[in-house]
Structure formats: structure tokens, C-alpha cells
Amino acid sequence: MQTFRELLQSDRIHVFDGAMGTMLYAKGVYINRCYDELNVSNPDLVREVHAEYLHAGADIIETNTFGATAYRLHQYGLEGSLAEINIAAVRIARQAAGEDAHVAGAIGPLGLRIEPYGPTSFDEAKDMFKGQAAALLEGGVDLFLLETFSDVSEIQQAIRAIGELCDLPIIAQMTIMTDGNTTFGTTPEVFTSRLDEWGADVIGLNCGVGPAIILSGLEKMRTVTKKKLAAQPNAGLPRDVQGRQFYMCSPEYMSKFAKRLIQSGAKFIGGCCGTTPAHIKLISDAVRAASPRVQRMVMSSGPLIHVEEIVPADIKIVPAEERSIWSRKIVRGEFVTSVEVLPPKGVDAQKTLDSIRLLKEAGVDGVNIPDGARAQSRMSAMATAVLVEQQIGIESVLHYCCRDRNLLGMMSDLLGASALGLRNLLLITGDPPKMGPYPDATAVFDIDAIGLTNMVNKLNHGLDIGNNPIGQPTAFCIGVGVNPGAINPQEEIRRFEYKVEAGAQYAITQPVFDTDQLHDFIKSVEHVRIPIIAGIWPLVSYRNAEFLHNEVPGVRVTPSIMERMRAASAISKEAGRDEGLKIARESLLEVRDIIQGVQVSAPFGNVKYALEVFGALEEFSREEAEAATNRSAEE
């Protein structure tokens, strides 16, 4: 398993557990007990809570040590057991986590006032934190989690204490009130800047309030730091019900806000008071939809092998220009057109084939066939591609993802695809099963899209993944996906560089609604430029726009487009459809001069609607011809 420091370098989103105290109380432990002491007196109960959160999808669990500092333990006469309690907590969490999750040493506020608000000096506070941190470090934590702090001076002493002991990563989390500031009146912008300056590796918010206020705070924080952000809200504010305190936010509500927190930049998401494994499971589902599980074998890490150096002398590599008509047009710099059509849901492909026949008649260069998009179960994309090429005679661009097959299965599939005459591929990592109708289905993800690109490039050079000769090489035109609107553009550019180095010949973007983003992205990859094909998705309604913006990872519909679709859809269904088509044509014209092709999605399988988008290309050609005529006349 990666160290937590290594994990911080990735762009994945990670799930924390929920409330330990809430669960212990629910299991019959009264609030007058010292919950931290249960690590010694009832370790099985603590381990049971950890296990429930891990089963719900948490990949980082916190030790049961929020109040295990000397001052807090002194209130129960347990200050002499500080080391024993903290070390036991780490041991219990580690036993539960195994190799599947990281263990965070949880440290809360001291429970007393430090200068200038109280008699405890900064150094005295630091030493108290140091005592607990030393015990957690001895137990073997992977990182430290400082949580529920209101006083920035106090959390600074905790950071100082850990820094004097080790260089393990620190997640530093403040708590805010309903006005968006700490109880001391410190704004998110101020405490975020200070935590960044003091060396916190991740900066976040937890406890205090529910997800809506946490979201507002996070949006302010991201404007003043480049550090990764964390969010662990309460399940709302507690309500008194017949003398008992209840947290009212449902798991579904927390899951909805988890998506918004991700969109606002949160990379670590979990829960605090009132959250249970039921909440964490739905939060985990939302996170997995935006961030596939870590790959167990990453062929993209480290320097990629330059296969040209190890190709057998008797192997004749098929030039890119000869691999397919699609590949030839891309190599020659010609503009390519394609329409994305989903495979049929059942075994009867006739309706799908009939719609694709319209594409051939219209002169479209290729039909893109998704491979289990959004984790939906449909006919095999490869089988659909073979039917298309054999029965319709138009070239297919087969999407092929890493989710469903291990390395051996992918090798077999690709060799078979080549033997069946398929030549054009779009290699993608794939959407996690949690997005689809079968959320408990397992995913493989032996490698990601970068590793798959490397594999296909080797096949094109007559080698398998172990660099063993396979005889006649494959002749695939290798395409990859790219997201110009990625939350972390630096990470997206880095991955794009790897894909190009691995052998990608062209790239197809996620649906483009923010054309400025595409312009900026293309400028940023000029040093590794390959042909870019823009994804264009004609919207059909405001509801369709909302769905794409909120529930399809990597897609951002701009506020102006959302408003246009809202206004048009309020008039009529037809007006909404017409406005969506107009927006798609405008977007295509705005990027036509910087791309080398377009992939238009067919909403709900409506190929005729998708074809209407191409009218913008005819308009572009007319404008170019008129401009050329005017130039000639001037000369």
C-alpha cells in the first residue's frame, strides 16, 4: 500500500469515516464515560465501529483518541494511561484496516484556554500535544488528523508538536459556526492562509455545522491555498426531540452535498457528529462516481518503456496512415466527424444499426461506441462495433475501458479485436460500478488508461505486456480521453503528457460547454500536442443540463448555458431542444479553428438530432470560402 505521503500526490478523492462517538453511544455507552478509555477496556467494541465504517467504504479511519490528551484524561483520573490508551487505539484501528485503509491519529483541542485567552502558554500547549502525538507515533499511525479546532493559535501548537517528532503528513481541520467563522471570529480565508504557512499538508473543516455551511466555507478556502482540502461536516445541527439530541441530515442529503463538496475542490470527505456508516456508504458511492479506485498495478508510474528500442528486427510496424481511414485523416490533418451511439440494451441491435446507417448516408467519418458508460449494462461495445463495420460499412471508434477486465482479459480482447478487423480505439479508465444500477458489482482496474495506452502501443509493435513477441503486430489507431475542465488541471496535464508518451495518436474531450476552458487547455498542452477532437453534447432540456453538470464526472455546464436552457425549457419542450441545438452549434463554431475533429453525442439515441449539429460545419466552410474570395479580390 502507498504511504499517505505518496497518496497525497494523486488526484483521487478519499473517504474518511464518520462519528465514533455517535456510534459508541448508539451501542449503549453513556456519555459520562471516557470514550477514549474504551480502547483499553473494550477494544472489540471500538474495532467493531472501525469495521462498519470500512465496510461502508471509508479508506481512511481515525483512531478513537479525540480526547486522549493529558488534560482531558485527567478529568477521568486517566492521565497516567495516556500512552497506553493512544497506542491501543492505533493497534485497534490497524487491525481493522489491514492493508486496505490508512490510519489517522486523531487529536482534538486540549479543552482549556491558551494565551492570550487563558493561563496556558504556547509551549505548554505544544508539550501537551507532543505527549499524545508521541504515543500515536509509537503506535504506528500513517498520518495525523487535527480536528475540531476553533483557535488558530492552539492548532499551531499541535502542528509544531508533530513537526518536532516526525515528518508524517498533517491534516488540519478547523470548525466554523453558522456565520461561517470560528467562535473566535476568524474567517476561513485567514485560518486557511495560516495553516498553509505553518505546514499543514491538507486543510479542512469539520464538525460544528452541517454540509451546507461547510460547503460555503470550503469555497472561500480554495481561493487562498493550493493545498488539498478536506470536509467532514456534521449530519446537520442537532435537534432536541423529547430530551434527546438527534442529527437530522439523511444519508441521501449528505451524499448530495458530497458531490458539491467534490465540485468545490474537496479531496478528503467524511463525516463528524451524527454521521453513521449509512451516511458514509452513500458518501463513498458519490466519491467513487467521481474518482475510480486506486489501481493495483499502475503501468503509468515511472518512465515509460520506449518500445521502438526492443521491437524484433523482423517485425513490420503498420504506419499510422495505413491503419484505417480514420487514422489516415488524423495523420493528414483532416477534420474528422463522429457521432457517439450507445450499444443496445438487449440482444436486438437492429434499431441501433438502422440509426447508424443514417450516419453513413450523411458522410460521417465514424461512429463512437461507448464501453459501459456510467457503469450501465448494455451489449458488448466490441460486439456492437463488429456488427456496425460488417453490416453498415462505416468505421467504428471503439471505447475500451479498464474497469471490467484484468490484464489477461484485456490482452485477449485486444488481440481478438484486431483479428476481427477493428482498428480505431478510444482507451479510457472507465466509470466505477458505484455509478450504475449494480453498485455492488466489482471493478478490476488492474491498470488505468495510461497503462492501457502503453499496452496497445506495444501490441502495435508486435509485443505483449511482457515484451514478448506476438508475431504480426496489431494496427490500432490509439485515442485517449481528456478532460479540459478537470478540477485539478495540473494533474490532468500530467496524465495527458503520460498518455502521449505512451503512444496516444489523438484525444477526445469530455463534452465541451465551457469553450474558454478548451482554449486554455489546448494552450497548456502545446508542448505535447496531438490532434484534439472536441466532444459536443446537444442538450435537450434544462433537466438534461442539470444532470450532466451535477452527475456526470468531468462535465461542467456554464451558468450562462444553464440559464439559457432554463428559460427555453420553461417555454416548451421543443424550445428547450432548439436552444440546446443552438448552443451545441455555437460551441462547435467557437472551437472549430483549434480542433481537428468533433464527436457529437446522440441524446437518448436520437441520431438525427446529433446530425443537425454538423450544420455548423457547413456554416464554417461557407465563411472560410467567403473569406478566401474576399482576400483574392483584395489582392
Phi, psi (degrees; rounded to nearest 5) at 424? -110, 125
Which tops the pLDDT comparison, 236 or 546?
A: 546
pLDDT at 298 over 50: no
- Residue 242 has a pLDDT of 44
Q: Please list, in sequence order, all residues whose beta carbon lies within 8 angstroms of the beta carbon of residue 14, skipping any fewer than 6 positions away.
A: 7, 59, 60, 267, 268, 269, 287
Q: Please list, in sequence order, all residues whose beta carbon lies within 8 angstroms of the beta carbon of residue 395, skipping any fewer than 6 positions away.
A: 324, 325, 326, 365, 366, 367, 389, 423, 424
The DSSP element (H or E) to which 482 belongs, if any, is strand 477-482
pLDDT interval class at 296 (50, 70, 90): very low
The DSSP element (H or E) to which 245 belongs, if any, is strand 244-247
**What does 577-600 look like in DSSP terms, one character per residue?**
HHHHHHHHHHHHHHHGGG-SEEEE
Among 66-75, 241-250, 591-600, 621-630, where is mean pLDDT lowest?
A: 241-250
- Residue 314 has a pLDDT of 73
- Residue 466 has a pLDDT of 72
Question: Tell me: the pLDDT tens digits for 80-96?
Answer: 999 999 999 999 999 99
Question: Tell me: the pLDDT tens digits for 278-288?
Answer: 999 999 888 87
266 near 230, Cβ under 8 Å? yes
- Rounded average pLDDT over 356-383: 91
Which tops the pLDDT comparison, 634 or 585?
A: 585
Name the β-bridge partners of 149. 174
Which tops the pLDDT comparison, 37 or 254?
A: 37
User: At CA 566, angle to CA 565 and CA 569, rounded to 5?
Assistant: 75
In angstroms, the CA 456 to CA 475 distance is: 9
In the chain, the amino acid numbered 23 is M
Nearest of 332, 339, 342 to residue 364 by alpha carbon: 339
546 burial level (CB within 10 Å; 0-12, 13-18, 19+) = middle
- Residue 255 has a pLDDT of 84
265 near 229, Cβ under 8 Å? yes
In angstroms, the CA 56 to CA 285 distance is: 9
DSSP, res 526: G
Q: Do domains 4-290 and 320-538+593-618 have the same CATH topology?
A: yes
626 burial level (CB within 10 Å; 0-12, 13-18, 19+) = exposed
Among 292-301, 359-368, 481-490, where is mean pLDDT lowest?
A: 292-301
pLDDT interval class at 301 (50, 70, 90): very low
- Rounded average pLDDT over 596-604: 91
Which percentage of the chain shows pLDDT scores above 70?
Answer: 90
DSSP, res 295: P
In angstroms, the CA 92 to CA 94 distance is: 5
Name the β-bridge partners of 399. 426
Query: Given 3.10.105.10, 3.40.50.170, 3.40.640.10, 3.20.20.330, which CATH number is that of 4-290?
Result: 3.20.20.330
pLDDT at 439 over 80: no
- Residue 302 has a pLDDT of 34
pLDDT interval class at 189 (50, 70, 90): very high
Question: Tell me: the pLDDT tens digits for 137-152?
Answer: 999 999 999 999 999 9
Nearest of 12, 65, 23 to residue 278 by alpha carbon: 23
Torsion angle defined by CA atoms of residues 610, 616, 618 and 623, in that order, rounded to the nearest 10 degrees: -170
Which tops the pLDDT comparison, 263 or 107?
A: 107
In the chain, the amino acid numbered 576 is G
- Residue 16 has a pLDDT of 96
60 near 15, Cβ under 8 Å? yes
Q: Distance of CA 140 to CAs 92, 95, 421, Å?
A: 11, 12, 55
232 burial level (CB within 10 Å; 0-12, 13-18, 19+) = buried
pLDDT at 246 over 90: no
Question: Tell me: the pLDDT tens digits for 310-329?
Answer: 556 678 899 999 999 999 99
In the predicted model, what is the mean pLDDT of the chain?
88
Torsion angle defined by CA atoms of residues 77, 79, 81 and 87, in that order, rounded to the nearest 10 degrees: 140
> 10 Å Cβ neighbour count for 413?
16
Per DSSP bridges, beta strands 238-241 and 244-247 are: antiparallel
- Peptide bond before residue 188 is cis, with ω within 30 degrees of 0: no
Which tops the pLDDT comparison, 210 or 297?
A: 210
User: At CA 285, angle to CA 279 and CA 291, rounded to 5?
Assistant: 130
Q: Where are the domains of the chain?
A: 4-290, 320-538+593-618
The DSSP element (H or E) to which 534 belongs, if any, is strand 532-536
Question: Which range in 34-38, 460-464, 542-546 is most confidently predicted, on average pLDDT?
Answer: 34-38
- Report domain 320-538+593-618's class: alpha beta
The DSSP element (H or E) to which 386 belongs, if any, is helix 381-391
pLDDT interval class at 436 (50, 70, 90): low
Find the distance separating the first CA and the last CA of the chain, reported in whole Å: 68
pLDDT interval class at 534 (50, 70, 90): very high
> Sign of the C-alpha dihedral, residues 328, 330, 336, 341?
positive
pLDDT at 247 over 90: no
Question: Tell me: the pLDDT tens digits for 10-63?
Answer: 888 999 999 999 899 888 888 788 999 999 999 999 999 999 999 999 999 999
